[in-house]
Structure 1
Amino acid sequence: MGGAFTGLADDASAIFYNPAGLARQRGSLMLEHVPVSESGTGFAFGGGRLNFFGLGFPSRYGTFGFGFYQFAIGGIEARQQLSDTAQSLNVTQTAYFVPWGATYKGWQLGATAKAVSYSLAGYKATGYGADLGLKRAIYRGDTFLGRDTNIYAGAAVRNAMAPTLRLDQDSTPLERVTAFGLALVSYTRENYEAAADHVTHDRLALALDATKGNQDTSLGFAFGAEYAYLDRYAVRWGLNADRNMTIGMGAGGPNSVFRFDFTSVLAPLAPQHRMTVSWLFTAPQEAVEGSVKLSAYRRAMLDQQRLRDRFVKEGRDAAAEGRYGAALAAFEKARVLSPRDEEISSLILSGGEGNLLAGVKERIDAARREHAAGNGKLAATNALSAIVFDPESREAAEYAIQLRHAMILTKGPKAFDKTRDAVLEDLGKQFKAAAQARNIDSMRRVLPRLKAVDPDDSYSWQPTEEEFTALSATWLNEYLAAAAAASNAKDAAAMARAVRRVHRIDPTHKELKALYKRVRKLSKSAGSSFYDSNYLAQLYATAAAGYVLDNSETALQNLAALMRANATHEDGNALIDLMRSEGMISEEQEP
Structure 2
Amino acid sequence: MRRPCATAIALGLLLTAGAARAQSSAGADAFDFLRLDANARAVGLGGAYTALATDSNALLYNPAGLARVRSSEATLMHNQYALGINQQYIGVALKRGLGFQFNYATLGDVPRTTIADPDGTGNHLNVSDTSLGAGYGWEMSPDLALGAGLKYFTETLADVSVSGYAADIGGLYRMPDIKGLVFGASLLNIGPPVKFASTAEKLPTTLRLGTAYGLKIPHNDVTLALDFTKGVLDKIRVGLGAETVFDEHFAVRAGFTTRQDAGVGLAFGLGWIGRKIGADYAFVPMGG
TM over 0.5: yes
The aligned counterpart of 2:49 is 5
Aligned-pair distance for 1:7?
Answer: 1.1
Partners of 1:74 and 1:88 within 8 A in 2: no
1:245 equivalent among 249, 266, 272 = 266
- Name the aligned partner's letter for residue 159 of structure 2: G
Q: Does 1:204 align with 2:222?
A: yes
| CA spacing shift, 1:247–1:140, aligned 2, 3 Å | farther
Corresponding residue SS for 2:64: helix
**In structure 2, do the counterparts of structure 1 residues 212 and 219 end up closer, same or farther at CA, with 3 Å as the change threshold?**
same
Correspondence list, 1:133-148, <5 A: 133-139=170-176
Residue 214 of structure 1 aligns with which residue? 232
> Structure 2: any 5+ residue segments left out of the alignment?
1-44
Q: Does 1:68 align with 2:98?
A: no
1:16 aligns with 2:60: yes
Cα shift at 1:140: 5.1
CA contact (8 A) 2:250 2:272 kept: yes
Secondary structure of the 2:117 match is coil
The structure 2 residue matched to 1:176, chosen from 187, 205, 230, is 205
Tell me what 1:101 maps to: 137
Q: How does 1:409-448 map to 2 (within 5 A)?
A: none
Q: Give the alignment partner of residue 152 of structure 1, picking from 168, 182, 195.
A: 182
Hey, what does 2:93 align to over in structure 1? Answer: 56
Residues 412-434 of structure 1 show CA distances to partners (whole Å, capped at 9, x for unaligned) of: xxxxxxxxxxxxxxxxxxxxxxx
CA 163–128 in structure 1, closer or farther in 2 if over 3 Å, else same: farther
The answer to whether 1:111 aligns with 2:148 is: yes
Given candidates 253, 266, 275, the residue that maps to 2:285 is 266
Query: Aligned pair in 2 of structure 1 residues 163, 265: CA closer, same or farther (>3 Å)?
Result: farther
Alpha-carbon contact 2:185-2:208 (below 8 Å) kept: yes
1:246, CA displacement in angstroms?
1.0
CA distance in 2, matches of 1:251, 1:74: 31
Equivalent residue for 1:538? none
From 59, 82, 85, give the equivalent of 2:117.
82
| Corresponding residue number in structure 2 for 1:231 | 248
Residues 344-394 of structure 1 deviation map (CA, whole Å, 9 limit, x = unaligned): xxxxxxxxxxxxxxxxxxxxxxxxxxxxxxxxxxxxxxxxxxxxxxxxxxx
Superposition deviation, residue 85 in structure 1:
3.3
Q: Which amino acid aligns with 2:129?
A: Q
- Give the secondary-structure state (helix, strand or coil) at the position aligned to 1:16: helix
1:173 shift after superposition: 2.0
- Greater length-normalized contact order (CA 8 Å, ≥ 6 residues apart): 2
- Greater C-alpha Rg: 1
Shift of 1:139: 4.3
Match of 2:74 in 1: 29
CA contact (8 A) 2:98 2:134 kept: yes
Whole-angstrom distance in 1 between the partners of 2:192 and 2:164: 4
CA contact (8 A) 1:153 1:181 kept: yes
Please report how far the alpha carbon of residue 11 of structure 1 lies from its aligned counterpart in structure 2 after TM superposition.
Answer: 2.3
Classify the secondary structure of the residue corresponding to 1:23. helix
CA positional deviation for 1:66? 0.9
Q: Give the distance between the partners of 1:266 and 1:11, measured in 2 at CA.
A: 26
Deviation at 1:48, TM superposition (A): 2.7
Q: Give every structure 1 segment of 4 or more consecutive aligned residues whose post-TM-superposition deviation is greater than 6 Å.
A: none
Say which SS state the counterpart of residue 175 (structure 2) adopts.
strand
Q: Which amino acid aligns with 1:89?
A: L
Distance in 1 (alpha carbons) for counterparts of 2:204 and 2:144: 27
Indicate if the aligned counterparts of 1:162 and 1:175 stay in contact, CA closer than 8 A: no
- Cα pair 2:111 2:121 within 8 Å, conserved: no
Amino acid in structure 2 at the alignment position of 1:102: W
Equivalent in 191, 195, 199 of residue 162 of structure 1: 191
**How far did 1:162 drift?**
2.0
Relative to total residues, which structure has the larger strand share, 1 or 2? 2
Summarize the Cα distance change of 1:111–1:267 in structure 2 as closer, same or farther, 3 Å threshold. farther
Unaligned runs of 5+ in 1: 39-46, 142-148, 190-200, 270-591
Counterpart residue type for residue 72 of structure 2: G
Contact 1:140 1:150 (8 Å CA) reproduced: no
Rounded Cα–Cα distance in structure 2 between residues aligned with 1:267 and 1:101: 36
Q: Return the letter of the residue paired with 2:216.
A: Y
SS of corresponding position for 1:34: strand
* Structure 1 contact 108–136 (Cα < 8 Å) conserved: yes
* Aligned positions, number: 236
Distance (Å, rounded) in 2 between the aligned partners of 1:98 and 1:162: 16
